[in-house]
Chains A and B, each alone.
Chain A
Amino acid sequence: MKNMLVVTSGIVAMILSTVTLAGPREDLLAQYAAAAKATGFSAARGQTLHTQNFSGGKPDTPSCTTCHGKDTRGAGRALTGKAIEPVAVSVTPTRYTDPAKVEKWFKRNCTEVLGRECTPQEKGDWLTFVIGQ
């Protein structure tokens, strides 16, 4: 009986994991793809964007990891001392489900770190990266 239950739940889990539900995050990616005329987004490029140092922004925030931390699944900390929820969707599943909020923070944080707004390609890459984290 117990074995049956384990097998059944295993099958259910497998079915669920193959179904990609089109949620707000997927809609956002589709928007960025259309805007960038991109053929695809890359988590690896997103990771590079997340970890690399920029010189165009503010000197005290050279990279995304300055505040968000090196571990995507761990909490970050703003320069004000306030904790920031982990960027990884696996740890903070509520993240990136409000498109206006995503856009607001891309605008603000890219300006601080890169000294300019991020391109739709960069946004899509970064989002792809953290969705997979």
Chain B
Amino acid sequence: MRIPYRPLAIGLVTLAFSALVLARAQAGDRHFFAPVADSVVKEECGSCHLAFAPSMLPARSWQRMMGELDNHFGDNASLDPATAEKITSYLVANAGDAGGQRYSSKLLKGVATGAAPQRITELPKWVSEHRKVPDWEWRHKEVRTKANCVACHTAAEQGYYEE
């Protein structure tokens, strides 16, 4: 009998990686950031990447981002003014500093008053929370970028970001 070594090896490596990531993602308590509930925001902000929870950035960050959509991290993500306006109000109303957000004050700790950070992955708290993730894991083909939360936090779309 010929044993298919190649597929077996690939399968095992995939399994090992998943187990590793899952173990890390499941450890610790559950951090909840309410997912986007508005269908327009979900569609427009969630086509290219996860529709990031508005509570992960302060209102001024969202205002700045929505004013610079023609250069959205290098992409032109311009929208018609009416849609942009609608999305901005949603993001601002549900922003991390809008009040009533349980985990936002923690995540936004260390952000200077008046600063409008654009990348969630550059928030001091985000950086310290992910300091143990090795480089090779970020470069894994199922991860690719730090913005790909769901690669490790499998319930990110539902708002759960376990440690």
Binding site for B on A (CB under 8 A): 58, 78-82, 108, 111-112
Contacts and interface: CB of A to CB of B under 8 A. Distances in A.
Interface stretch (B25-33, B53-61, B126-134, B142-150): B142-150
How many interface residues does chain B have, given as a range?
10 to 19
Interface of B: 48-50, 74-77, 142-145, 147-148, 150-151
Contacts, number: 30
A78 B144 CA distance: 10
A112 B76 CA distance: 8
A82 B76 contact: no
A98 to B, nearest CB: 10
A78 B50 CA distance: 11
Tell me what chain A mostly uses at the interface: helix, strand, loop, or mixed: loop
Contacts of A111: 76
A81 B77 CA distance: 17
A80 B144 contact: yes
Contact of A79 (B77, B143, B145): B145
Given A78-B48, A79-B144, 9 more contacts: A78-B49, A80-B49, A80-B145, A80-B147, A80-B148, A81-B143, A81-B148, A82-B148, A108-B76
Contacts of B148: 80-82
Nearest to B142: A81
Considering the complex of A and B, which 6 residue pairs feature the smallest CB-CB distances, nearest first?
Answer: A81-B148, A80-B49, A81-B144, A78-B48, A82-B49, A81-B145
Nearest to A108: B76
B76 A81 contact: no
A112 B75 contact: yes
26 contacts: A58-B74, A78-B48, A78-B49, A79-B144, A79-B145, A80-B48, A80-B49, A80-B144, A80-B145, A80-B147, A80-B148, A81-B49, A81-B142, A81-B145, A81-B147, A81-B148, A81-B151, A82-B49, A82-B50, A82-B150, A108-B75, A108-B76, A108-B77, A111-B76, A112-B75, A112-B76
